[in-house]
Structure 1
Amino acid sequence: MSFLVVMDSCGELTEDMKESGHFASVPFLIDIAGSHFVDNERFDMKRFLRLVKESPTVARTACPSPERFRKLFSPEAERIYIVTISAELSGSYNSAKLAQDMEDEDHPGRKIHVFNSKSASIGETLIARKIWACEKEGYSFEHTIETVEAYIESQVTWFVLETLDTLRKNGRLSNFKAALATALKIKPICSSTPEGAIQQAGQARGINKALVRMVEMAAEAAGHAEQKEIAVSYVECPERGQMVLDALKERIPAKNYILLPASGLTATYANEGGIIVVI
């Protein structure tokens, strides 16, 4: 093993990434309604989403500790890359930086770099795959970092939510506004900012119209994506995810297209029916 990519569990791993031996995932911890979940391959999505619907309060999440990151640092890896959810959304990036500092103290000169994805979910996945592509091309550690940081700056994340319950429960949307939006079937279309925060980019009445508009907006912003990968993540709605991916294929020529079920952390905020697109 010459290199290792460690992602926090907000990002998803494709099957070829799992089989390569070059990727590892460090889990978030999630608590809701007295139940404790570890966001890993044994995560019980159906039970979790049921508790989300039933609970009057939002789930509480805890990012991986520096020690949990370090436990995955294989001594065989000459180069270690860490990819985290946007630093604007979680403390995971700071935790990973602390892990890097601690490793530098114990093993001076070890090559480690932490990438702030400025994204989430499959945004992390695509960044990790970009690292993999650079390594396959034989790029140096420094050239890989430079190339991937430029890729992150070019990336945009889009998402549409089926329900506004989480925004209502955590106080980001008043009960009145949430009820009004629900009654009118208004679905917000959101995107990432260059800094990695979340902004509302539009809205539509009805989930299908919102998804169509999201695809249109993503296509308008995509530019030349012929050498890029485009990815869609979904929360317990594979048919909807496939529909969005097919629509993106028609509008945006790309090198590759990926469709993945969302992680537990993504489901915490996107809820059942949520769709995430990253270009």
Structure 2
Amino acid sequence: MSYKVIVDSCGELTEEMKESGIFETASLSMEVGGVRIVDDETFDQADFLKRVAASPECPKSSCPSPEEYMESYHCDAERVYAVTLSAELSGSYNSAELGRKLYEEEYGKKDIYIFNSRSASIGETLIALKIQECEEADMSFQEIVSTVEKYIESQHTYFVLETLDTLRKNGRLSGIKAIVASALNIKPVMGAKPEGVICQLGQARGMKRALAKMVDHIVEDVENSEEKILAISHCNCKERALEVEKSLLARAKFKSSFIIDTAGISTMYASDGGIIVVV
């Protein structure tokens, strides 16, 4: 294999991606109720959600170490790409960059490029798939880097969660004015700014209306939808994800679409019932 794509574990891999031998996960870890849980194939979503519900403290996450990234770069692949969580939300990007420097000091130069997704979850998944598409089109390393960076600039992330508590308590909502009291069952419709920070796009009373509002935003914003993949991740709410997909496919034509269950880090931040859409 002449290339490899490392995706930090906030990005979910589809079954096809796992089986391809091209994609590898750099695992983050979480701590809840004094227990450390690694976000790898052993992650048990139901058990994790139970632990979060039972713990009075907010779960916390930590990113892979530079040494872990360095070890992932040390392989037979001639070209290595890493895709990380938004650098504005996590230390994963910096860790991956430091790992690259460590690799070069230890083993010398190699084509390694780290993409700051400026997104999370399936935003990272789509970027990884874009790298694969470019590699299969026999582009040069530099062409792939610039094509994928342009793709990242055109990408949009949206989400509606049952609760923003974990994001708020872990300082991921800085710069957003106080979100309306949850007693009113107001659900904010959230998105990502181009630089990768979280912003509020709107709000509605109740999950159903908030999701409908999110769909409106997506349809309004999307350009050249028939050239784009619609990706949806959900935390323990497949029916909700299917409804969102159905609404979007009824209003816009996409190249393809897929739905995936959130892995560990996305589960921690999306919380039970959360929906993330990237296009």
Deviations 1:175-213 (A, max 9, x none): xx77x7322110010000010000011000000000011
* Secondary structure in 2 matching 1:72: helix
Give yes or no for contact 2:60–2:170 (8 Å, CA) kept in 1. no
- Distance 1:167-1:90 versus aligned 2 partners, 3 A rule: closer
Deviations 1:69-89 (A, max 9, x none): 122235210100000000000
Give yes or no for contact 1:56–1:169 (8 Å, CA) kept in 2. no
Q: Which residue of 1 aligns with 2:268?
A: 268
1:236 aligned to 2:245?
no
* Secondary structure in 2 matching 1:257: strand
Q: Which residue of 2 aligns with 1:41?
A: 41
Give yes or no for contact 1:235–1:270 (8 Å, CA) kept in 2. yes
* Partner Cα separation in structure 1 for residue 133 and residue 167 of structure 2: 37
* Partner Cα separation in structure 1 for residue 228 and residue 109 of structure 2: 33
User: Displacement, 1:167?
Assistant: 4.8
- Mind listing any 5+ residue stretches in structure 1 that lack a counterpart? none
Give yes or no for contact 2:73–2:100 (8 Å, CA) kept in 1. no
Partner amino acid, structure 1, of 2:250: E
* Partner Cα separation in structure 1 for residue 68 and residue 184 of structure 2: 44
Worse-superposed segment, 209-218 or 66-75:
66-75
Q: Which residue of 1 aligns with 2:140?
A: 140
Partner amino acid, structure 2, of 1:219: V
Give yes or no for contact 2:161–2:271 (8 Å, CA) kept in 1. yes
* Secondary structure in 1 matching 2:181: helix
* Partner Cα separation in structure 1 for residue 102 and residue 199 of structure 2: 34
- Distance 1:44-1:227 versus aligned 2 partners, 3 A rule: same
* Partner Cα separation in structure 1 for residue 164 and residue 17 of structure 2: 33
* Secondary structure in 2 matching 1:210: helix
- Mind listing any 5+ residue stretches in structure 2 that lack a counterpart? none
Q: Which residue of 2 aligns with 1:117?
A: 117
Superposition pairs of residues 1-279 of structure 1, within 5 angstroms: 1-167=1-167, 169-170=169-170, 181-279=181-279
* Partner Cα separation in structure 2 for residue 192 and residue 163 of structure 1: 17
Worse-superposed segment, 217-226 or 52-61:
52-61
Worse-superposed segment, 44-53 or 215-224:
44-53
- Distance 1:170-1:29 versus aligned 2 partners, 3 A rule: closer
- Distance 1:233-1:100 versus aligned 2 partners, 3 A rule: same
* Partner Cα separation in structure 2 for residue 167 and residue 131 of structure 1: 29
* Secondary structure in 1 matching 2:73: coil
* Partner Cα separation in structure 1 for residue 75 and residue 201 of structure 2: 44
* Secondary structure in 2 matching 1:42: coil
- Distance 1:78-1:275 versus aligned 2 partners, 3 A rule: same
User: Displacement, 1:107?
Assistant: 2.8
Give yes or no for contact 1:181–1:187 (8 Å, CA) kept in 2. no
Deviations 1:38-76 (A, max 9, x none): 001110111111121222221111100011112223521
Query: If the length of structure 2 is used for normalisation, what is the TM-score?
Result: 0.94
Worse-superposed segment, 106-115 or 68-77:
68-77
Give yes or no for contact 2:231–2:277 (8 Å, CA) kept in 1. yes
Give yes or no for contact 1:57–1:169 (8 Å, CA) kept in 2. no
* Secondary structure in 1 matching 2:221: helix
Partner amino acid, structure 2, of 1:218: I
* Secondary structure in 2 matching 1:226: helix
* Partner Cα separation in structure 1 for residue 100 and residue 168 of structure 2: 37
* Partner Cα separation in structure 1 for residue 187 and residue 58 of structure 2: 20
